[in-house]
Structure 1
């Protein structure tokens, strides 16, 4: 009986680390119903699944979510633009992009815009904590909002002149909320590659995940997931901005 108990204890001790490492938690924006989040999560659920790892997301305002990832309070960031790697962050960039986000200015009246510098005459809204937008909007009068819908309602109420947002996220909110009179302006301000980021303690995992994502991209799986999410959101009728 004692020998059986000792064997059982050894088995439990040996198995504990693998169970602890089989689940990772990532920071994410709070608007988890939006296409941007759903595309990233579905791709990464599938990719990590190939490695025998399950993932969860922990929603928080954009700035706080990034702090959680950088301080090691979770395992990384679900997805951010490639610009994050060019800033102060120590997070590990996974080089294969998950998809491309289109930064678009939304407005409730016709405006002639061409590039970020053309926003300078206006009061510009954007979602607080989105580092790439904060970087591009330096020198512009800014009015951050707490979430995409809040930003669109500020625009509808005339509290800002334009709101800069991911094209599909903005269109999704407009259709779901029933907010009228707001349109995306063309051309696109910038196309951002969206990437997954890992906390440095997972440095050994990064190349294995990179290999899986690269294979998924080559097989067309990343694009297939993106299109599926857009169909489910009722946005597949939209042409690229």
Structure 2
């Protein structure tokens, strides 16, 4: 009986998978359908797949998502602007940019804007917890929102004068919601390179991922994914303001 039990144990061990599938969980903005999130996610699903790693995202408001990543409650940030690395964060910046985000002021009336400083006369909305925007909007009267849609509805209701948002995310939300009368203003306030961030416990993984992303960039794969996402979102007809 004991011999039979030993044989059964050996058979079970041999039939079990040799290793568990590696899986990482990343913080992401709550509006998972926005082009910005989809571009990052598709690129990283493909890149990590090359390393035999699957990924998933955990949606949370922008400020809370960053806290989860920094405290090690998950494995990092799906994507944030490169300016995050210049602030207090200890997260590891993956240097190959995933794509460029265009910060634009949206308004429902004509306004003459030149740069960030020209926003000072106005009450400005932006998504709470977006570190790059917080840095650029110092000294401006602010009214934070809890997401792109919430910010645009505040603008439509006259509760802010302008709302600063990623161009494609803002345009996608306006088209999806059917809100009218809101337009992006000229010029683009700033172009931010968007990067993936890892929790420091994955320091050994960073150079391997960097190598994969560099190869994808050289092959034009990053740009191809961006174009595909914009086409699927019905935003490929847009030109920058």
Instruction: Give the TM-score normalised by structure 2.
Output: 0.94
Alignment partner, residue 73 of structure 1: 73
Closer, same or farther: CA 92–236 of 1 in aligned 2, 3 Å: same
In 2, Cα distance between equivalents of 1:22 and 1:35: 27
Map of 1:74-223 to 2, 5 A cutoff? 74-223=74-223
In 2, Cα distance between equivalents of 1:40 and 1:190: 19
SS in 1 for 2:224: helix
Runs of 4+ in structure 1 displaced over 3 angstroms?
1-21
In 2, Cα distance between equivalents of 1:15 and 1:65: 39
Q: Deviation per CA, 1:145-187: give whole Å up to 9, x if none.
A: 1110110011011100000000000000000001010000011
Q: Tell me the CA shift for residue 43 of structure 1.
A: 0.2
In 1, Cα distance between equivalents of 2:191 and 2:10: 53
Q: Tell me the CA shift for residue 11 of structure 1.
A: 9.4
Q: Deviation per CA, 1:49-84: give whole Å up to 9, x if none.
A: 000000000000000000000000000000000011
SS in 1 for 2:20: helix
Closer, same or farther: CA 202–13 of 1 in aligned 2, 3 Å: farther
Consecutive unaligned residues of structure 1, counting only runs of 5 or more, are none
Q: Tell me the CA shift for residue 239 of structure 1.
A: 1.0
Closer, same or farther: CA 38–5 of 1 in aligned 2, 3 Å: farther
Closer, same or farther: CA 200–183 of 1 in aligned 2, 3 Å: same
Consecutive unaligned residues of structure 2, counting only runs of 5 or more, are none
Instruction: Tell me the C-alpha RMSD between the 2 structures.
Output: 2.2
Q: Tell me the CA shift for residue 240 of structure 1.
A: 2.6
Q: Tell me the CA shift for residue 15 of structure 1.
A: 11
Closer, same or farther: CA 208–2 of 1 in aligned 2, 3 Å: farther
Q: Tell me the CA shift for residue 207 of structure 1.
A: 0.3
- Number of residue-to-residue matches in the alignment: 241
Closer, same or farther: CA 12–45 of 1 in aligned 2, 3 Å: farther
Q: Tell me the CA shift for residue 119 of structure 1.
A: 0.3
Closer, same or farther: CA 137–2 of 1 in aligned 2, 3 Å: farther
Q: Deviation per CA, 1:20-41: give whole Å up to 9, x if none.
A: 5610000000000000000000
Closer, same or farther: CA 15–77 of 1 in aligned 2, 3 Å: farther
In 1, Cα distance between equivalents of 2:17 and 2:140: 50
- More divergent stretch after superposition (96-105 vs 20-29): 20-29
SS in 1 for 2:41: helix
